[in-house]
Amino acid sequence: MTPRANTSKLRITLNTTRDREFLDSWAELEVIGATPAGGVERQAATAEDGQMREWFSQWLRDRGFTVEVDRVGNLFGLLEFHDGAPYVLVGSHLDSQPRGGRFDGAYGVLAGAVAADRVRRHAAESGVTPRYNIAVVDWFNEEGSRFKPSLMGSAVFTGAADLEDTLNIADHDGVTVREALTAIGSIGDRDVFGAGEGSRRLAAYAEIHIEQGRELEKDNVSIGLVDRTWAANKYELNVIGAQGHTGATAIDDRQDALLGASLIVVALRDIADEFGDELHTSCGQMTVLPNSPVVVPREVHMHLDLRSDNDELLAAADAALRKRIAEAEIRAKVKVEHRKAHVWPGHHYQPQGVELARTVADDLGVSSMLVQTRAGHDSTNMKEIVPSVMLFVPSVDGISHAEAEYTADEDLCTGVDLLTETLARMLDGALDSAAAERA
């Protein structure tokens, strides 16, 4: 699509030949960690994630960015126009789920980098520099598949998670975050941004992502303006039973941990059916011990989540789940330990950011609509510390966290244009009023 842009209102002149920079770079990026079925596998701090970070660092350096990595592996490309001026940060994450899709996260990082680079070129050509500096970010471990929880790098960055505790979190094989980041040579020894005297400061944040839902596609709209994020309750449970012989142990004598876990999985679905569309529930991971065909399982580790836009409904669902867990304990003769719980509260994005993106979409002649995000994003953390803009492009059939994830080139390029112009206006202070409200 060639948008009918209102060029007199645009900070940056956008034209289709510039799409090549995005699409050519995208063709190089999407093959890193590629799987045979068309997806990618680049879990956090694996060799593939390391290879991707190296490729991206080189991409940034080739275009004049300075590359720095902070103490939890967040990778930044910095472009300084004015010494001491705050930065507008733009980015997403390059890691993926196991057998994940090509677009989740990686699109937002490259789109942000290309948008920043367009601003750089425009400043060089016109001689007019923006008021703020630019930084591009690849947040470490957004996905939370290898190391839990998700949104790890941005949580440490915003102070929602502790650095030392996070570096000591281990994966399934006992490898810690610190060890894994060290192994791929992608860990820094100081903060890149900070609150102290002389440290770099942030003015605002922007992120673009695939929708991972069907709303935009259904309404044939190019851009989603995210005004609200669903809250998520995440639980890590240990179901403790007793190991036995699957043949010899009498049914009545069994303390079957897998039966207990299964009752909880069914309970999750029952609760979702009972509460309706406003609640999503799931169990995404179970580890069965000892996982032998002829042994009644002694223990199951499981990861559950409840998500909703409605805090009261979420609290009611939490109460219903706890009741069902207590019933499962009695029926399966097991004990359920609540190992950990993470709560990502639901919140609004700053309305000034939503309005800014809507105005840019209108000026570019691009269709847009308000959407909520049911999935968590790094912007969920960032909006707690600076005004943040979150944009979506359509996902075909809403497929995500799967190899069939797809977004058309045209939609990707429209997103890059919209992000570029939004970034340009943020760099000239378009969200200063939102920042002042926070202060």
Residue 203, both tokens: 């003015």
**Does residue 224 touch Zn ion according to CB under 5 A?**
no
Residue 94, CB-side half-sphere exposure with 13 Å CA sphere: 32
**Does residue 33 touch Zn ion according to CB under 5 A?**
no
**Does residue 256 touch Zn ion according to CB under 5 A?**
no
Residue carrying the six token digits 């440290």: 199
The helix (H) or strand (E) run that includes residue 259 is helix 257-275
Q: Least distance (Å) from Zn ion to the CB of residue 145?
A: 11
Side chain identity, residue 54: E
Instruction: Pick the piece of the chain touching Zn ion (CB under 5 A) from 98-106, 217-225, 279-287, 419-427.
Output: 98-106
Question: What secondary structure does DSSP assign to 155-172, as a single string?
Answer: HHHHTSS-HHHHHT-B-T
Instruction: Pick the piece of the chain touching Zn ion (CB under 5 A) from 105-113, 116-124, 149-157, 172-180.
Output: 105-113
Maximum CA extent, the chain:
82
- Which residue lies nearest Zn ion, judged by its C-beta? 105
Q: Least distance (Å) from Zn ion to the CB of residue 216?
A: 16
Contact 407, 107 (CB under 8 A): yes
Instruction: Pick the closer one to Zn ion by CB: 208 or 424.
Output: 208
**Does residue 95 touch Zn ion according to CB under 5 A?**
no
Q: Least distance (Å) from Zn ion to the CB of residue 306?
A: 20
Instruction: Pick the closer one to Zn ion by CB: 105 or 213.
Output: 105
**Does residue 138 touch Zn ion according to CB under 5 A?**
no
Instruction: Pick the closer one to Zn ion by CB: 59 or 139.
Output: 139
Q: Least distance (Å) from Zn ion to the CB of residue 280?
A: 16
Contact 82, 133 (CB under 8 A): yes
Side chain identity, residue 261: A
| Cα–Cα distance, 34 to 406 (Å, whole number) | 14
SS3 (DSSP) at 396: helix
- Taking only Cα atoms into account, the Rg of the chain, rounded to an integer number of angstroms, comes to 23
**Does residue 100 touch Zn ion according to CB under 5 A?**
no
Q: Least distance (Å) from Zn ion to the CB of residue 329?
A: 35
**Does residue 213 touch Zn ion according to CB under 5 A?**
no
**Does residue 417 touch Zn ion according to CB under 5 A?**
no
Q: Least distance (Å) from Zn ion to the CB of residue 151?
A: 9
Rounded to 5°, the CA angle 223-375-235 comes to 175
Instruction: Pick the piece of the chain touching Zn ion (CB under 5 A) from 32-40, 99-107, 145-153, 197-205.
Output: 99-107
Instruction: Pick the piece of the chain touching Zn ion (CB under 5 A) from 8-16, 96-104, 213-221, 319-327.
Output: 96-104
Size of the site for Zn ion (CB under 5 A): 2
CA distances from 420 to 12, 92, 119, 333, 343 (A): 8, 15, 7, 58, 33
CA distances from 195 to 163, 190, 229, 238, 380 (A): 16, 13, 27, 39, 20
**Does residue 91 touch Zn ion according to CB under 5 A?**
no
Contact 430, 16 (CB under 8 A): no
DSSP 8-state symbol, 131: S
**Does residue 101 touch Zn ion according to CB under 5 A?**
no
Binding to Zn ion (CB under 5 A): which residues in 335-364? none
Q: Least distance (Å) from Zn ion to the CB of residue 209?
A: 6
SS3 (DSSP) at 80: coil
Candidate residues 48, 49, 95, 104; the one interacting with Zn ion per rule CB under 5 A: 104
Binding to Zn ion (CB under 5 A): which residues in 278-307? none
Q: Least distance (Å) from Zn ion to the CB of residue 225?
A: 18
19-29 and 47-62 helices, crossing angle to 10°: 150
Q: Per DSSP, what are the bridge partners of residue 145?
A: none
| Cα–Cα distance, 140 to 186 (Å, whole number) | 10
Contact 430, 418 (CB under 8 A): no
Q: Least distance (Å) from Zn ion to the CB of residue 210?
A: 8
Instruction: Pick the piece of the chain touching Zn ion (CB under 5 A) from 73-81, 101-109, 192-200, 246-254.
Output: 101-109
Q: Least distance (Å) from Zn ion to the CB of residue 120?
A: 25
Q: Tell which residue, 351, 348, 369, 372, has the closest CA to residue 430.
A: 351
> First and final CA of the chain: distance in angstroms?
41
**Does residue 405 touch Zn ion according to CB under 5 A?**
no
**Does residue 39 touch Zn ion according to CB under 5 A?**
no
**Does residue 105 touch Zn ion according to CB under 5 A?**
yes
Q: Least distance (Å) from Zn ion to the CB of residue 105?
A: 4
Task: Point out which residues bind Zn ion (CB under 5 A).
Answer: 104-105
